[in-house]
Amino acid sequence: MVLSTQALITKGVQLSSLAGSIMSGTPKSKQTNQKSLVCTVDIVRYSFLTSLLLLNKCPVLLTGESGVGKSAIIQELLSKLQKPKGSSIQTKTILGNVFLFNEMKHESMVADIGYLADGFSEDVNTDPSCIDGVCSGPRMEFPTKDSAQAGTKSSQDSKELQTTTVLFSTQTTSAQTQAQILHKLVKRSGNRRSPPKYTKLIVFVDDLNMPAVEQYGAQPPLELIRQFLDLGGFFDMKRLRWLRVEDVALVAACAPPSGARSELSQRLLKHFCIFNLPQHSTKALQYIFQVKVGLFLESNNFMPVVRRCRELLVKAAISIYYKMCRHMLPTPINPHYTFNVRDLIKVTQGLLQANETDIVSKEQILMLFAHEVTRVFHDRLSDVKDRQMFYTFLSDDLHNYFKVTEG
C-alpha cells in the first residue's frame, strides 16, 4: 500500500512529465506539487479507519501534537472520498486499497509470473508499483469481484459525498457554526434539512478546541456540536422551531490543550471515536522528505552530483531539527522556541525553490541547504549563545554527512 522511496519518485517523475507535456506553458519548477501529502503507513491506517467510520456516520476526532498532519490527512481523505465512486470498495480508493489488498497482491504476483513465463522478466524489476517487498497492483483491474462489490455498493450508495470545512478559532460563535453547516443543506418536507441531490455531507471541524471559554465555563460552538450529535439537529432561532438534520457526518481535529486550546468536555468527547496520531518516526520523516526532494530534483533534471545529495540532505536536515527540538526548549523568556514538522517542511520548500541552471555542484546545493536551515531555525533564536550553538550543530552535520570542514 505504501510505495518505496525510489518507486514513488519514479512514478512521480512519470506523472509530472506527463502533466508537463499537457501544460506545456507551465514552468518546470512548478511541476511538482509541493503541498501534496506523501503516503506513509500511518496515513493509510488512519485514512482507512476514519473513512470507514464516517461512511457509517460515526463521528471521528483526530488528535495529536501540532504538525503531525491531522488537518492534512483529513483534507486529503475528504478529497479522495468526494471523487466519483471514491467511497466504494474498488481499486485505488481508500477502502479498496485495504479491503482488496490480498486480491491485488495475488493478481500482481500472477501477472508477474505471467510476464516471466512470456519472457518479459525485465519488466518485473522496473515496475514502479513495487512496494517495500510487496507489489501493489495498479496495473490490474478486478472486473468480476469489483463490479459485483461496486454494483451492490453503488446501488445503496448512489448518493455521492459532499464535504465542507468549518475552521474554529477563538472568535467563532455558535450562530456562525450553525449558519455554516445549514448553508450546505437544503429544505426537505416538514422541518427536515439534508444535503442537496440526496448526497451525504461530511463536515470537517478543524481546531475543535479553539473557541474561547465564556464566563460560565462553556464553549458555545462546542455545545452546538454536542446538541447536533445528541439530538440530530439544530434549533431555528428565527422561526423558533426544531430542524432535523439528515445525512450529515462529522469529523474533527484538534491538538492537545495548551495556550488558546482548551480541554474538551466529556459530554462532547463521548460521541467521538478518537484516534491519537503519533509523531512521525525518523524513518517516516526520511521517507516523506526524500520523496519530496527526490521528486523535485529528478523531475527538474538536476545534475547527477546534485541528485546524489538527496538522502544526505534529508538526513542532515532531520538531524538539525532533532537537535533544535532537544536543546532549544521553550522558556518564559523564549516561549517561541517550539519546533515541529512544519519547520522541516519550510526547509524543504526552500530547497524546492532551487534552479537547475544555478545549482550544479555539491557545494552549491550545500550552500543553499545551509541558507535554508539558517533561515528557518537560526533566525528564530534570540540569544547569542543559542545562535552559536546552532552554528555548531550545522558545522557538525555538514562535517558528519558531507565531510565538509571549516576553512
Ligand X SMILES: Nc1ncnc2c1ncn2[C@@H]1O[C@H](COP(=O)(O)OP(=O)(O)OP(=O)(O)O)[C@@H](O)[C@H]1O
Where do contacts with Mg ion occur on this chain (CB under 5 A)?
A: 71
Binding residue count for ligand X, defined by CB under 6 A: 18
Tell me if 348 contacts ligand X by CB under 6 A: no
Nearer to ligand X, 72 or 124 (CB): 72
Q: How far is the CB of 342 from ligand X (least distance, A)?
A: 5
Helix, strand, coil percentages in the chain from 3-state DSSP, rounded to 5: 50, 10, 35
Tell me if 347 contacts ligand X by CB under 6 A: no
Binding mask 270-299 for ligand X (x = CB under 6 A): ------------------x-----------
Among ligand X, Mg ion, none, what does residue 72 contact (CB within 5–8 Å per kind)? Answer: ligand X
Tell me if 166 contacts ligand X by CB under 6 A: no
> Quick check: helix, strand or coil at residue 133?
coil
Q: How far is the CB of 71 from Mg ion (least distance, A)?
A: 3
Binding mask 69-108 for ligand X (x = CB under 6 A): xxxx------------------------------------
Among ligand X, Mg ion, none, what does residue 66 contact (CB within 5–8 Å per kind)? Answer: ligand X
- What type of residue sits at position 133? G
- Considering only 7, 264, 341, 354, the residue that binds ligand X (CB under 6 A) is 341
- Output the CA–CA distances (angstroms, integers) from residue 308 to 300, 303, 386, in the order listed: 14, 9, 32
- Count how many Cα atoms sit within 13 Å of the Cα of residue 181 in the half-sphere of its side chain: 32
Residue tagged 474554529 (cell numbers): 168
Contacts 24+ apart (CB under 8 A), 378-387: 380/336, 380/337, 381/328, 381/337, 382/333, 382/334, 383/334, 386/328, 386/334
8 A C-beta contact, residue 317 and residue 393: no
Binding mask 220-259 for ligand X (x = CB under 6 A): ---------------------------------x-x----
8 A C-beta contact, residue 351 and residue 290: no
Q: How far is the CB of 66 from Mg ion (least distance, A)?
A: 7
Q: How far is the CB of 195 from ligand X (least distance, A)?
A: 25
Q: How many helices (DSSP H) and strands (DSSP E) are in the chain? A: 16, 11
Closest CA to 83 of 98, 95, 100, 101: 95
Name the segment binding ligand X (CB under 6 A); options: 65-73, 129-137, 141-149, 361-369. Answer: 65-73
* Chain residues that interact with ligand X, rule: CB under 6 A: 35, 37-38, 40, 43, 66-72, 253, 255, 288, 341-342, 345
